[in-house]
Amino acid sequence: MKILLVYPKYPDTFWSLKYALKFISKKATHPPLGLLTVAAMLPKEWEKKLVDMNVTTLRDKDLEWADFVFISAMSIQKASVKQVITRCQKMGIKIIAGGPLFTTGCEDFEDIDHFVLNEAEITLPPFLEDLKNGCAKRIYTSQELPDMQNTPIPLWELINMKKYATMSIQYSRGCPFNCEFCNIPALYGHKVRTKSKAQIVAELESLYSQGWRDDVFFVDDNFIGNKKRLKKEILPAMIEWMERKRYPFSFNTEASIDLSDDEELMQLMVKAGFTSVFVGIETPNEESLTECNKVQNKNRDLVACVRKIQKFGLQVQGGFIVGFDHDPPSIFERLSTFIQESGIVTAMVGLLNAPHSTKLYQRLVKEGRLLKDVSGDNTDFSINFTPKMNYEILIKGYERILSRIYSPEPYFKRVMTFLREYEPFEKKAFHFHCNYLAAFFKSILFLGIIDKERVYYWKLFFWSLFRRPQLFHLAITFAIYGFHFRKIFGNCL
């Protein structure tokens, strides 16, 4: 059996980092971890190829080679998915689809031959058995949540690692919280299921043996969902492995704001090699936090929490939302001020949207306010329901936030705020990459000479060189990120 695994293309977005990746000659930020893991679950004797359309072209001869196409995607990839389906249909190739896009909306894809939905550890084996016996059904689904200790190591040999900026690992699934706008509980449940420390070490070893020596992203929606296990088992095992291997990786992940309450956990994460965390802060407005059931963020000095995490050596990347029913007209100014004061350099501000299977979606259906499906890109100025706030006021306010936080002057000022307070963990080894030296010289050429905003680049360049020389590489990285953000939001605005 010949299996072609296809990962559809992403549009240019905030997180695509398209314009930043060009500086380091990379094609995409992350590989398709889900498909690589599914590939490891397929029979070993089957031939397998993977085409990630974000790094290479899906050719007709790739499709002609395949007996079946396996496709996985998220909602933001929907346009590319439809193009792949059309091509497969024309060539008479059967498609097996899974992943979040199809699990929450398979009814939108009438031309898919087989759906393997929910979590593949449960639904893939019966499909493979039926396929073998010539009686495969169209839909395989299950509400059962699998034990992640049965999840195999991804088949890294199917990709060219040199095309990516970061590799990925999944440690856990599920989140203990129940935010109204989030579909993670519907997809993966509230119980936090984890891999063992032996599995995590084996996955680190697998990446290491493939020659990877760079960033690794733990893709968990809330890495600290089970703090006890992290502190007693996982992080100590990672620390021991990282010390033995002379710190070949640096890690980043996603976590809830209550990370700031646990100093021991932050210390262990930093010692293990974590350098940044994405935190869903959403809004400084308490009424909006109550509305969306973001209980973990309530009754806090959120700026102080962010600064505490950053002082422990973890850069905070923040997610923010406007468009809640309880957002007052002052929210746009308050949110802009919050982002500036907190020193969050990478601040993703999006309009509220209601994905399938969320409690927000269900509420808006009952209220007759739902308008359409989500685009999957919460920074593309789209909103799929009728907001309580006047629509024009909401959009203009959103534009003001983006203009304020990503205009060169406030952006570079925010970078300096972060660099003043950030205290990184001193690693025991440094792994030099030619791409980073090339990125440095490209930054001088494009941001220091060609770019019309070059004055801000040189101010940051010399300020960091003389004031925080140990963080000079971060200053250049943020200058490059700022260029990407201005390009993305400049196009939108």
CA distance 205 to 484: 33
What is the span of the domain harbouring residue 388?
A: 165-421
276 pLDDT higher than 90: yes
Which residue is listed with tokens 């995409």?
28
Q: Is 379 in the same domain as 481? A: no
Q: Which residues of 176-200 are buried (b: 16+ CB within 10 A; e: fewer)?
A: ebebbbbbbbebbbeebbbbebebb
Please check whether residues 238 and 354 belong to one and the same domain.
yes
Report d(CA 403, CA 42) in Å as an integer: 48
Regarding whether 279 and 225 lie in a shared domain, the answer is: yes
Let me know whether 413 and 447 are in one domain.
no
**Same-domain status, 43 and 20:** yes
Q: Which of 401, 384, 281 is nearest to 337 (CA)?
A: 401
Lowest-pLDDT range of 236-240, 255-259, 364-368, 370-374: 370-374
Task: Tell me the three-class secondary structure of 249-266, residue by residue.
Answer: CEEEEECCHHHHHCHHHH
The number of C-alpha atoms within 13 Å of 176 and in the hemisphere containing its C-beta is 12
pLDDT tens-digit map of 458-487: 999 999 999 999 999 999 999 999 999 999
Quick check: is 484 in a domain?
yes
Q: What are phi and psi of 364, to 5 degrees?
A: -70, -30
Q: Which of 140, 157, 176 is the last residue of a domain?
A: 140
Q: What are the C-alpha distances in Å from 77 to residues 81, 139, 158, 396?
A: 6, 21, 21, 27
For the purposes of burial, counting CB atoms within 10 Å of the CB of 175, is it exposed (0-12), middle (13-18) or buried (19 or more)?
buried
Q: What distance separates the 2 farthest-apart alpha carbons in the chain?
A: 69
Task: With a cut of 90, say whether residue 429 has pLDDT above it.
Answer: no
Q: Which amino acid is at 428?
A: K
Q: Is the pLDDT score of 131 beyond 60?
A: yes
| Burial call 202-222: b when 16+ CB within 10 Å, e when fewer | ebbebbeeeebebbbbbbbbb
248 in the same domain as 208: yes
Q: 173 has which bridge partners?
A: 193
H/E run at residue 419 = helix 408-421
In the prediction, which pLDDT does 493 show?
A: 65
Residues 401 and 458 in one domain: no
The DSSP line for 210-237 is TT--SEEEE--SSTTTTHHHIIIIIHHH
The pLDDT of residue 137 is above 90: yes
Per-residue model confidence (pLDDT) at position 34: 98
Instruction: Give the model's pLDDT for residue 129.
Output: 98
- How large is the average pLDDT for residues 276-292? 98
pLDDT of residue 259: 98
Q: What percent of the chain has pLDDT over 90?
A: 93
Check whether residue 111 and residue 171 sit in a common domain.
Answer: no
pLDDT of residue 431: 59
Listed residues 123, 140, 157: the one ending a domain: 140
pLDDT at 427: 62
Number of structural domains (the chain) is 3
**Residue 228, token pair as written in the block:** 């006890």
Per-residue pLDDT band at 161 (split at 50, 70, 90):
very high
Domain end, chosen from 396, 421, 446, is at 421
CA 284 – CA 380 distance, rounded (Å): 22
pLDDT at 413 over 80: yes
Distance between the two ends of the chain, CA-based, in angstroms? 49
pLDDT at 376: 85
**Residue 103, in any domain of the structure:** yes
Closest CA to 199 of 42, 40, 50: 40
Report the C-alpha gap between 238 and 74 in whole angstroms.
30
Residue 228 lies in a domain: yes
Long-range contacts for 39-47 (Cβ within 8 Å, ≥24 apart)? 39/3, 39/5, 39/154, 39/155, 39/158, 40/152, 40/153, 40/154, 40/155, 41/120, 41/121, 41/124, 41/125, 41/152, 42/3, 42/128, 43/1, 43/128, 46/1, 46/2, 46/3, 47/1, 47/2, 47/3
Helix or strand or coil: residue 155? coil
Q: Does residue 426 lie in a domain region?
A: no
Q: Is residue 81 part of a domain?
A: yes
Do 107 and 243 fall into the same domain?
A: no
Mean pLDDT for 75-98 is 97
Examine residue 158 and state whether it is found in any structural domain, yes or no: no
- Note the pLDDT tens digit of each residue in 176-224: 999 999 999 889 999 999 999 999 999 999 999 999 999 999 999 999 9
Q: Distance between CA 271 and CA 427 in Å, rounded?
A: 9
From residue 442, give the alpha-carbon distance in Å to each of 22, 284, 411: 9, 38, 20
Tell me if residue 105 falls in helix, strand or coil: coil
Residue 231 lies in a domain: yes
% residues pLDDT > 70 (the chain): 98
In terms of domains, do 411 and 442 share one? no
**Residues 414 and 444 both lie in one domain:** no
State pTM to two decimals.
0.95
Q: What is the CATH number of the domain that holds 321?
A: 3.20.20.70
Mean pLDDT of 366-388: 91
How long, in residues, is the chain?
A: 493
Cα–Cα distance between 390 and 394 in angstroms, integer?
A: 6
DSSP state of 150: G
| 145 falls within a domain | no
Clarify whether residues 255 and 375 are in a common domain.
yes
**Which domain CATH number covers 41?**
3.40.50.280
pLDDT (tens digit per residue) in 51-83: 999 999 999 999 999 999 999 999 999 999 999
pLDDT digits (tens, 9 = 90+) for 432-446: 577 889 999 999 999
